[in-house]
Structure 1
Amino acid sequence: MPRLTRIGLYVLALLFMAAGILHFLRPGPYVRIMPPYLPSPLLLVYLSGVAEVGLGALLLPRQTRRWAAWGLIALLIAVFPANIYMAQHNPSGLDVPAWLLWARLPLQAVLIWWAWLYTRRRAVK
């Protein structure tokens, strides 16, 4: 694996593991961005945190890298409605400018592309 690709792998894994840990340390902001039609927001926050930590860690071993990358892609798609809700409603308690909330939406596509890089056989070697 080229050096830049390997560095990107470690950064992506660390990014997701850190974000997942934040779901447990500070669940409040994540609960507030949950669309009201979703049941048990705190449970969903914890489950997504487990998924982020677990899939981020599973990116590192070659044997689980492809599956973890596909799992991250699925997770990013699954949480996209919460990001849309956050951009549309800017829940109270989140001191984030509206433009930044909207700018976050295309970032999901970048993260999906980044994870996709590690679904290819070449990235597993």
Structure 2
Amino acid sequence: MSRSERSSLLLAGLLATAGVAHLASPKQFDATIPSVLPGSPRTWTYASGVVELALAAGIAAPRTRRMAALAAAGFFVGVFPANVKMALDWRNRPTPQKAAAYGRLPLQVPLVLWARSVAKNGEGQS
């Protein structure tokens, strides 16, 4: 297995894990949904989980990898406001929780770059 194939499958695994977490334990994610979004936070949590699973499947399949990885990069940018909300909401929590919330913010940059790298090395055509 090539390095780019491993990277693709690791990204797919990360997204699949996140998707399952959103669907299996939605309550913890509901609080991160910005209140400006219409509808219920639970709907957004479930939708996010479904999107993560779909992106994972698309990245895992070589034919759709490039398109799905580009979509994943966009998704990582799109969920950034939820991470900002979490950081703001957790600013008065104990230091380890606060550090985790603030640590998620810069983590979005390597996730976007990773998805773009997978897209660049992907086999599918968009």
Q: Aligning the two structures, in what range does the TM-score lie when normalised by the shorter sequence?
A: 0.7 to 0.9
AA in 2 matched with 1:37: V
Per-residue CA shift, 1:52-74, capped at 9, x if unaligned?
Answer: 00111110122111110011111
- Residues 30 and 45 in structure 1, CA contact (< 8 A), matched pair in contact too: yes
- What secondary structure sits across from 1:108 in the alignment? helix
AA in 2 matched with 1:35: P
Pairwise CA RMSD of aligned residues? 2.3
Fraction of identical pairs, as percent: 32
Alpha-carbon distance in 1 for matches of 2:54, 2:96: 28
Query: What number of residue pairs does the alignment pair up?
Result: 123
Give the deviation of 1:91 after TM superposition. Answer: 8.6
Give the deviation of 1:96 after TM superposition. Answer: 5.4
- Residues 55 and 68 in structure 1, CA contact (< 8 A), matched pair in contact too: yes
- What secondary structure sits across from 1:47 in the alignment? helix
Moved over 2 A (4+): none
Question: Are 1:13 and 2:15 an aligned pair?
Answer: no
Structure-to-structure mapping, 1:25-64, within 5 angstroms: 25-39=24-38, 40-64=40-64
With the length of structure 1 as denominator, give the TM-score of the two structures.
0.88
- What secondary structure sits across from 1:107 in the alignment? helix
- What secondary structure sits across from 2:111 in the alignment? helix
Residue equivalent to 1:111? 111
Distance 1:104 1:88, change over 3 A: same
Alpha-carbon distance in 1 for matches of 2:8, 2:96: 29
Give the deviation of 1:16 after TM superposition. Answer: 0.3
Structure-to-structure mapping, 1:62-101, within 5 angstroms: 62-90=62-90, 97-101=97-101
- What secondary structure sits across from 2:6 in the alignment? helix
